[in-house]
């Protein structure tokens, strides 16, 4: 089955009262540098399978957990248990368990948001960072993230629609779960995702629900099997904690990220096409917020799930950057 990716081994770690499922590839111990790979929504460790193989082949120990709320990791029942502070705590425990003073980190989507936060809270643990799709914005005291989203995109932005417990879950449950993943992974419209009141999340996606060419039916089956067991609530709770994470991060208002970093995004990614983001990336704002940002790569004709759509190119970028350190 799809889970049996060649060279990948699996284990469970107890961290902060939560059991985390951890997938690993490459050397099991010793002095091999560790790369921590952090997935987003709706994804799993499995989204990094290509990068794990590439990193292992180059002598790295690739470590990809299912974040809390996902896959074979625990899903705390309280929606408030999914702040970035909770997830960073899980990662600090994982890094300690790996016996490493520092690790390389790669994040995508929510995994990128968590990776930025890890670099902000515990820069001593991160040697260098490659983030995909989601840029770092320093905390703004005058406006919470959801307030900023509503001001820029209105109440029908998908992150606003995800706030009410059970509503998105009910929408997702209306459809065949394999189709859900084909439809979601296939989205390519370079614009913010807006959900009119009379339309569901999936009505607003531009994809036709066929399997993208960079995924196999076996890949889709693995995602469907895991999410059929867990549901989507754990992943959706990250969105429901956006403003709570902002409240808790008041002490870091305006703080920059000083870890050496590289950023990669597709030009069709909804995150790249959010209001103000291209100017922020290309006109100095991003570099001011991440002073050791060494490179920004914008891939043409590539959408949101960049690490799976262009696995070889992304793996080469990651390995090339980390080789400097």
Answer yes or no: is pLDDT of 139 > 50.
yes
Q: What is the pLDDT of residue 68?
A: 98
Q: What is the pLDDT of residue 4?
A: 65
The fraction of the chain above a pLDDT of 90, given in percent, is: 94
- Rounded mean pLDDT, 252-258: 97
| 208-242 tens-digit pLDDT | 999 999 999 999 999 999 999 999 999 999 999 99
pTM of the model: 0.97
Answer yes or no: is pLDDT of 1 > 60.
no
Q: What is the pLDDT of residue 187?
A: 96
Q: How far apart are CA 252 and CA 263, in angstroms?
A: 22
> Which domains are present in the chain?
8-323 (3.40.50.1820)
Examine residue 42 and say whether the peptide bond preceding it is cis (omega within 30 degrees of 0).
yes
Beta carbons within 8 Å of 274's beta carbon, 6+ residues apart: 152, 153, 192
For 31, phi then psi, to 5°, come to -95, 5
For 72, phi then psi, to 5°, come to -95, 10
**CA atoms within 13 A of residue 266's CA, in its CB half-sphere:** 23
Q: What is the pLDDT of residue 15?
A: 87
Answer yes or no: is pLDDT of 24 > 60.
yes
Run of H or E residues at 283: none
3-class secondary-structure state, position 76: coil
Neighbours of 325 (CB within 10 A): 10
Average pLDDT of the chain to the nearest whole number: 96
Least confident of 188-202, 214-228, 234-248, 311-325: 188-202
- Rounded mean pLDDT, 269-276: 97
Would you place residue 299 in the very low, low, confident or very high pLDDT band (cuts 50, 70, 90)?
very high
Least confident of 52-61, 191-200, 254-263, 275-284: 191-200
Q: Using CA of residue 289, residue 112, residue 60, residue 63, what is the dihedral sign?
A: positive
Q: Is 277 exposed, middle or buried (0-12, 13-18, 19+ CB in 10 A)?
A: buried
* 236 and 201 Cβ atoms separated by less than 8 Å: no
Active site positions, annotated: 109, 239, 304
Q: What is the pLDDT of residue 98?
A: 95
Q: How far apart are CA 317 and CA 192, in angstroms?
A: 26
Q: What is the pLDDT of residue 200?
A: 86
- Rounded mean pLDDT, 189-204: 90
Least Cα distance to 131 among 110, 160, 156 occurs for 110
Encoded tokens for 19: 């059991």
| 77-101 tens-digit pLDDT | 999 999 999 999 999 999 999 999 9
Q: How far apart are CA 313 and CA 253, in angstroms?
A: 35
């Amino acid at each position: 089955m799809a889970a049996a990716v060649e060279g990948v081994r699996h284990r469970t770690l107890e961290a902060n009262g939560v059991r985390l499922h951890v997938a690993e590839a490459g050397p099991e111990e010793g002095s091999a540098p560790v790369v921590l790979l952090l997935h987003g929504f709706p994804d799993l460790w499995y989204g990094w399978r290509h990068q794990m193989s590439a990193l292992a082949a180059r002598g790295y120990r690739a470590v990809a957990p299912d974040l809390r709320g996902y896959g074979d990791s625990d899903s705390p029942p309280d929606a408030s248990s999914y702040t970035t502070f909770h997830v960073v705590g899980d990662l600090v425990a994982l890094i300690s368990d790996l016996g490493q003073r520092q690790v390389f980190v790669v994040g995508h989507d929510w995994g990128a948001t968590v990776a930025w936060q890890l670099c902000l809270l515990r820069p001593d643990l991160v040697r260098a960072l490659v983030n995909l799709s989601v840029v770092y914005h320093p905390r703004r005291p005058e406006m919470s993230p959801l307030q900023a989203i509503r001001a820029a995109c209105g109440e029908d932005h998908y992150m606003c629609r995800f706030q009410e417990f059970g509503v998105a879950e009910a929408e997702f449950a209306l459809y065949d779960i394999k189709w859900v993943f084909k439809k979601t992974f296939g989205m390519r419209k370079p614009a913010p995702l807006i959900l009119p009141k009379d339309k569901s999340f999936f009505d607003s996606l531009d994809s036709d629900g066929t399997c993208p060419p960079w995924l196999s039916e076996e890949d889709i089956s693995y995602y469907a099997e895991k999410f059929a067991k867990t549901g989507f609530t754990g992943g959706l709770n990250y969105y429901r904690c956006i403003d709570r994470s902002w409240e808790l991060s008041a002490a870091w208002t305006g703080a920059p990220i000083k870890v050496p970093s590289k950023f990669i995004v597709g030009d069709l990614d909804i995150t790249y096409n959010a209001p103000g983001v291209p100017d922020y990336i290309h006109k100095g704002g991003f570099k001011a917020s991440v002073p050791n940002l060494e490179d920004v790569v914008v891939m043409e004709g590539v959408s949101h799930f960049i690490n799976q759509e262009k696995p070889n190119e992304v793996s080469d970028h990651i390995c090339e950057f980390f080789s400097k350190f």
